[in-house]
Structure 1
Amino acid sequence: MKNTKMTKARLLGTSALVAAVLGVSFGVPMTSANAQASATDTQAITIDAGNLRASLDQLAAQFGLQLIVQGDLSGLQAQSISGELDVTQALSVLLAGSGHSFEFITDDSVRVFPITAQGTESSVTLPNVVVSATRSRRSISSMSPTVVVIGREQIEAQLAKTSDVTNVIRNSVPGFMFDDQSLIGSTETFRGRDVQVLVDGISRNTPLRNSSRILSLIDVAQIESIEVIPGSNAMNGDGATGATINIITKTGQVGENTFVVDGHVRSYTDDIGESFAPSLTLSGSGGVGAVDLAGSITASKTGNAYDGYGNQVPSDAMLGQGGFDNNEDLNVFGKAGVTVTEGHRLFFSTEVVRFRQDIDYFTDLTTDPVSVNYDKAYTGQPLEDESQYFTGGYEYDFGKVGKGDLKLFYNDSYKQAALSDFDATHNNFQLALANNTSALDPLGQSVIDTVKYGLKLSTDTSLDSVYDGMTLTWGGDLTFDDVKYRSVSGRDIGAPMEQDGKAVFAQLSAPVTRFVDLSGGVRYEKFDLTVDDYLRPNYLYNRTTPIAAAQFTGGNTSYNAVTYNASAVVHWTEKLDTSFSYSEGFSVPDIGAYTRRAGISGAPLNFASLDVDASKVKTYEIATRYSGQDFRTTGAVYMSTNERGDTFDSATNKLSQQKERIIGAELTAEYDISEDTYIGALASYVEGRYDKDKDGDLEEWLPNNRIPSPFRFTGYVDSYVWDDLNMRFDGTYTAPRSKIDDAKIDSSLVFNLSAHYPVLGGTARLGVENIFDASYENPAASALRGYSVAGHGRTIMMGFRREF
């Protein structure tokens, strides 16, 4: 966990990306940054009490300053200011008690830094960062040290080299698997298990037919912070067997109006022209009166991609899943709220995604690694994603009853896969025409069309009258899922499904003396699933043998899950904490994948014979955190078990459920060499076994698509050069895995460089990924399909951001 006490923000760079607050937005005039004021000039200042970072931005805009922030200001509050003050006096008032100080680097550039970085104090306290992904709005200081909140400044510091949310998380948290460099999230395992992705507490997962594309299509411009809670967790429903990731979107602040222009270009050095990829983001936030507003629009376009061997990367290296090359992407986000009265607010947010990948050639799976088949032009429809998400709600404060919110949501996603060419080993079952079983369906690529809607209620009720500091969090969920799994030609290739979900939960937390925080909770969940009858279409096997259509008989079933969690955090000293936790989570099986295989490879043609059930995972974890003046570290060991784990064997094209166990360890460390330079590392180990023959013994290693690499290490050095030029050099090593016979995954080692420099009233960025243009096998991509996929080669990204 990274926070003020641990100066996490320094790990990821500087808030120079948010410097130079200028101009006018939302129609509210502000002093131009071009009219710079000296440190001794006084101005009439009126800044209301509130978020410290927002107050600093407002002050910087008024005095025409650039801010360079070291340290995480998340959760810190500033007192109000009113009167005739110079900038030095105003900064002193705003930063009082925050654990931060400031210095002028130039006449118009101010660096804000943690006091511990200057060695003037022995310790600082954790900021009151609240984590909402648990539904209990708990302070991060009362949770496991493995819980991480990635703030906006940390996110922007990574934008020099990546705009992918997946990479932002992976570079900040151990336990998240290496990027497969595609659109899908199938390899986005955490501690060898599934990840639940929330946006403002609303799930984006579609478990009945996993569409995978979640994190890769979330625009980073709309994100305020990211909460990552490792381990199983059921408080937001099914899906979080490995971790919960909650994306918190931006909310406008009345009187703090900003407008941002952010653009970058990216290219592979093997062919700069053919790989040229521009992107532009326009965003803004603020508010007038009782109304707050925030919004962004991002448009991007990409060219070819190249690997470390200098070869063009196939557009669809993983059989229908697509990639980030040769695409057009548009993301529109908006949020509005109105404060009806103190403690009561109505809000509405929306996100619209339009993604299209135009593929030129099929992929040749016979080469090692797989390659572009220039002799075979792509004949299918484009890969597309058309999704829209709507959330509305009511935040309330009813005094003794409690504070909370009621959210209503509607998610509608259409995800069209690419057409995959025949391969005798990896793609030998292909959809045939309905009226000609010996001819392939040219519109046979798959489409997952899902609608998910419902409501979520969460309330924090203070029980101070019972015990000082005790809080009861309670609520419930109602959800509905409708899933259609079809071909582009409109034929069902999986059984249509509908599912109703109902859940109630309660969580109790309390400090027991100032040394121990205790928390425990329970959630009851029930799902009613209806699987329709459908005609499983006919296929061609090896392009010569017809597989006749077959009738699949649907049915009804119910899942019931009662899950528990409990934790204790012991604060031994101001610098040392230890947590002991037990948690349970569960995931509903990917029924769509089972029904697609009906009558093939022995898969049943009757839903009642599938014998699938929800997979409940139990996680045991011990974690500790030490935060000294110059050295900070967290460490954890864990074990997760379940009786009915979901395993897919790509060699036999079969899905199965069986007993399994995963063990692992994680470590983060950071050391200040000087006030301007520090080094750090992230490391994780994970390995697991399962009961393949269901005899009660865990005799087999989990397949590579669950654990592509048992060990991952990232090391980095971050330094300020020439005062306000921030540079970061990092490298990531993934260890090989040879547990599965004839399916060894090779190791990889990739180095990256990023830099930020305030210039022209904004911030210039430069990022280089794979700076040595290393040729390597992508472990996650190779593990998913069972053949070698090359990792991407050297890319250069240049960007500029200016805030008005």
Structure 2
Amino acid sequence: MDRELGTNERCKYIKYFPDPIYSLYLFQLALRLINQDGTYMKRILSLLVFIVYHVSVQGQSGARLTDTTNKLNEIIVTASRVAESIHEVPSTVTVISRTEVEKQSQINNNLPNILMQKVPGISPSEESQNNFIGKLRGRSFLVLIDGIPQSTPLRNGGRDLRSIDVSAIDHIEVINGASAMYGNGAAGGIINYITKKPAQNKPFTSTTYLNNSMNLANAGKTYGYNLAQVFSGSKDKFDYLVQGKIARSGVIRSADGQVVSPFYGLGETNSYNALAKVGYNFNASNRLEVMGNYYSSVQNSQYIGTTGKFGISPAIGVPGDTAIRGGTPYNKTFNIKYLGDWGKTAANISFYYDDMNTVFEAYNQVYSDHWGARLNFNTPFALGKRNRLTLIYGMDFLKDHTVQKDMADKLITPSMNMTSIAPYLQSKFNIADDWIVKGGLRYEHIGFAVGDLTRSNGQTTKGAADKYNALVFNLGARYNKLSFLQPFISYSQGYSIGDVGLVLRNGVPLTAINAEPVLVENYELGFSGRKGIINYQLTGYYSFSKKGTTYTEVGGAGNYELIQVPQKIYGIEAELGIKVTRWLDLGGVLGYMDGRQDTKNTGSFDGKLDNSVISPLKINANANVKLTDNWSLMLQMVSIGSRDVFTSQEYNYGKYPVTGYRIFDLYTSYKIKNILFRFSVNNLFNTNYYPVHAEVRGATNDGRYYVKGSGAVANLGVVVKL
């Protein structure tokens, strides 16, 4: 065929190609269109014209419906500690399926970016190693890997969302709003990364993932790659899974081609992940599982960051070497779990250990290790023909040791130790097959101790110890009789101990601050349903805390004062899925929140909450097209609104204006037997923007955080399954 054929002429002949030649030609043509001469926008428009034309041709073939996570399907979740239908949960639950995790990771493999696309109430991605201002419905959240705590609430390391590589994750479960079923840190909800599961009924399976990435606007030094391998299978009573991943990211450039400052960045980063699972079924009623995961992500940049100036110029990268390898040198997670049926009672008993080190290229590192146990039991009772009662009960044990040190291993915070013991009881009533009523409580006893701290000026602060108790409740109901309208209502409490290490590192003694757990009350009212081609969920929420914790920077960078004032946060979340035709799905997500604080503690709630707590309006939209049985296409958008609610006289940390932005992504895949070819463009139209985090923290701290987002990045990958 003539290499100089125009786009329309090429499309005319494509439909006559056999499938294998057809798919290879499509990928070759897509790359050729992107790299042809002309401006970036012209290249993208050429590609879109080609795609739209082919959609109009192939869409008439009546291909089967594309699967999409936006259809609010009935999904079994385990984040509430028992396997149950999502329609049995009287609150908002978001489940990001395995298919969607793999699709989104092809576009952008940074986990906060994936969550931003699918979870209405989560903060926009910081697009960095950190999630310092990351919130869920304006509150702190608890991150778990297979139920094992990853968050470091005593000294927020800001790396819990990136505590495992996405290639090891099967799906993600998010409980939105305060949770009484888990302990410290779940004031805003729970994010549970569920790792990949062994293949069943096959002694051996192999899946290989290979991906290559490059900036489209300025490719210089931006090439990156990742390679992941998964082996799994089962034989007789055994099953196993082994996963490994190596990756190297290139330089990150903004839409104008400049090197983005590497300060806490994701560019020039070496990442590794290794997951191993072994399971043994003693019989049909008793099973033992062992899981271990190792994760490492360390930056080795040939650039150093400049100082940006808010509203004028960004922080960029210039050649140089800080000699400090920032990132997460290691996160080691180990879990041994027993599952058994003891008569009518199902037991789930886990013993775990987690050890994490996070390095901050500025001057310090955080060490945190957890070990503990989770004992969970559930017993069902029949109450007549159509009524059932299930009791879920047990106890959690946790020992958390956290300390922050400088790069010479000298203490920045005192050594902090927290020990907690927490029994809990949850009841679930299924009434007449139509009503679900849940209620329960959790009592937590916390022992907190800190060691001595000697600061650089010679001042020594003596260690101290204290004890705290927290009692939290939850109550909720859901009505499921009508498929098109299923209302639910819930009240739940959660709590968190503030980032006390942030204050203790200033030489403030434990006795001088109020480290008592902050109780959060969460009220939620929502509706979900399915009518014809439409699936939807609409939720309103309100949360209140008498001692909401905020931090104010005082006396120079790095010194913070803990301020505890009443806070209220409220918002609306919506999800919508529409099956337009057999080959086209549309979906959307909306998250809006606002809040007030009572700065005078008089009940007037006279102050606005700043941008480190309240995220701007977020709207996500996507269109999924099944072009043929083997070829699919998705276009998605995330729109982050502006927030400017403070006067110039009030400008301080988190109070400078936030400017909105809109990002589009393209994803397409083509399957030939057991090989899946994937191509995507993140930030399709090469939008020039500052992430929200850059405008929250970038206005202070000498502008080090005032960093632009990434320009357009193309990803070309292949998945081979054997």
TM above 0.5, yes or no, is yes
Q: Structure 1, residues 219-272: CA drift from partner, whole Å, max 9, x if none? A: 222222211110000312111111211111122144233210101011112332
* Map 1:325-340 → 2, pairs under 5 A: 325-340=267-282
Matched residue, 1:471: 390
Matched residue, 1:194: 140
Partners of 1:297 and 1:330 within 8 A in 2 = yes
Matched residue, 1:618: 521
Partners of 1:613 and 1:644 within 8 A in 2 = no
* Map 1:641-790 → 2, pairs under 5 A: 641-650=544-553, 653-709=560-616, 711-742=617-648, 743-759=656-672, 761-786=674-699, 788-790=706-708
Aligned-residue CA RMSD (Å): 2.4
Choose 359-368 or 662-671, whichever is displaced more: 359-368
Q: Structure 1, residues 429-456: CA drift from partner, whole Å, max 9, x if none? A: xxxxxxxxxxxxxxxx211111110100
Partners of 1:203 and 1:236 within 8 A in 2 = no
Matched residue, 1:486: 405
2:152 is equivalent to residue 206 of structure 1: yes
Matched residue, 1:131: 77
Q: Structure 1, residues 162-221: CA drift from partner, whole Å, max 9, x if none? A: 222222222222111211101112232111111211111111111111112122242222
Name the amino acid aligned to 1:584: Q
Aligned partners of 1:169 and 1:571: how far apart in 2?
28
Partners of 1:486 and 1:494 within 8 A in 2 = yes
TM-score normalised by length of structure 2: 0.85
Name the amino acid aligned to 2:514: D
Partners of 2:199 and 2:205 within 8 A in 1 = no
Matched residue, 1:94: none
Q: Structure 1, residues 493-519: CA drift from partner, whole Å, max 9, x if none? A: 111111111000000001111221101
Q: Structure 1, residues 546-584: CA drift from partner, whole Å, max 9, x if none? A: xx3311122111121100011100124122200000001
Matched residue, 1:102: none
Partners of 1:639 and 1:662 within 8 A in 2 = yes
Aligned partners of 2:283 and 2:593: how far apart in 1?
50
2:370 is equivalent to residue 452 of structure 1: yes
Partners of 1:363 and 1:370 within 8 A in 2 = no
Partners of 1:359 and 1:382 within 8 A in 2 = no
Aligned partners of 2:275 and 2:220: how far apart in 1?
31
2:502 is equivalent to residue 593 of structure 1: yes
Name the amino acid aligned to 1:747: G
Aligned partners of 1:302 and 1:159: how far apart in 2?
14
Q: Secondary structure at the match of 1:314?
A: coil
Partners of 1:135 and 1:236 within 8 A in 2 = no
Q: Secondary structure at the match of 2:388?
A: coil
Choose 482-491 or 370-379, whichever is displaced more: 370-379
2:347 is equivalent to residue 404 of structure 1: yes
Deviation at 1:153?
1.7
Partners of 1:330 and 1:354 within 8 A in 2 = yes
Deviation at 1:126?
6.2
Deviation at 1:700?
1.3
* Map 1:67-82 → 2, pairs under 5 A: none
Q: Structure 1, residues 43-69: CA drift from partner, whole Å, max 9, x if none? A: xxxxxxxxxxxxxxxxxxxxxxxxxxx
1:578 maps to which of 467, 487, 505: 487
2:67 is equivalent to residue 164 of structure 1: no
Name the amino acid aligned to 2:148: I
Deviation at 1:146?
2.5
CA 330–373 in structure 1, closer or farther in 2 if over 3 Å, else same: closer
* Map 1:62-461 → 2, pairs under 5 A: 127=74, 129-144=75-90, 146-256=92-202, 257-316=204-263, 322-367=264-309, 368-372=312-316, 374=318, 377-400=321-344, 402-419=345-362, 445-461=363-379
Structure 1 spans left out of the alignment, 5+ residues = 1-33, 35-104, 118-123, 317-321, 420-444, 538-547, 599-604
Partners of 1:254 and 1:290 within 8 A in 2 = no
Deviation at 1:644?
1.1
Q: Structure 1, residues 451-479: CA drift from partner, whole Å, max 9, x if none? A: 11010001111122588321000000111
Deviation at 1:139?
2.3
Aligned partners of 1:366 and 1:747: how far apart in 2?
19
2:470 is equivalent to residue 561 of structure 1: yes
Aligned partners of 1:315 and 1:114: how far apart in 2?
39
Structure 2 spans left out of the alignment, 5+ residues = 1-19, 21-57, 649-655
Name the amino acid aligned to 1:331: N
2:419 maps to which of 500, 511, 514: 500
Aligned partners of 1:211 and 1:555: how far apart in 2?
23
Partners of 1:520 and 1:567 within 8 A in 2 = yes
Q: Structure 1, residues 705-738: CA drift from partner, whole Å, max 9, x if none? A: 11242x1111221112244321111111111111
Aligned partners of 2:623 and 2:690: how far apart in 1?
25
Matched residue, 2:711: 793
Partners of 1:704 and 1:784 within 8 A in 2 = no
Deviation at 1:655?
2.6
Aligned partners of 1:531 and 1:145: how far apart in 2?
37
Aligned partners of 2:324 and 2:430: how far apart in 1?
60
Matched residue, 1:442: none
Deviation at 1:767?
0.9
Matched residue, 1:56: none
Q: Structure 1, residues 372-414: CA drift from partner, whole Å, max 9, x if none? A: 35376525455442121110121110013x1021100011111
CA 693–638 in structure 1, closer or farther in 2 if over 3 Å, else same: same
How much identity, in percent, do the aligned residues show? 23
Aligned partners of 1:734 and 1:595: how far apart in 2?
35
Deviation at 1:794?
0.7
Matched residue, 2:6: none
Q: Structure 1, residues 291-348: CA drift from partner, whole Å, max 9, x if none? A: 11012101000121011222110000xxxxx121011111100111111122111111
CA 380–113 in structure 1, closer or farther in 2 if over 3 Å, else same: closer
Partners of 1:134 and 1:236 within 8 A in 2 = no
Deviation at 1:520?
0.6
Name segments (4+ residues, structure 1) moved above 6 Å. Answer: 114-117
Name the amino acid aligned to 1:588: I
Deviation at 1:355?
2.0
Please state which structure has a larger fraction of its residues in helix. 2
Choose 699-708 or 368-377, whichever is displaced more: 368-377
CA 611–173 in structure 1, closer or farther in 2 if over 3 Å, else same: closer
Partners of 1:660 and 1:689 within 8 A in 2 = yes
Choose 753-762 or 579-588, whichever is displaced more: 753-762
2:458 is equivalent to residue 515 of structure 1: no
2:582 is equivalent to residue 638 of structure 1: no
Matched residue, 1:17: none
Aligned partners of 1:375 and 1:165: how far apart in 2?
28
TM-score normalised by length of structure 1: 0.77
Name the amino acid aligned to 2:396: D
CA 273–126 in structure 1, closer or farther in 2 if over 3 Å, else same: closer
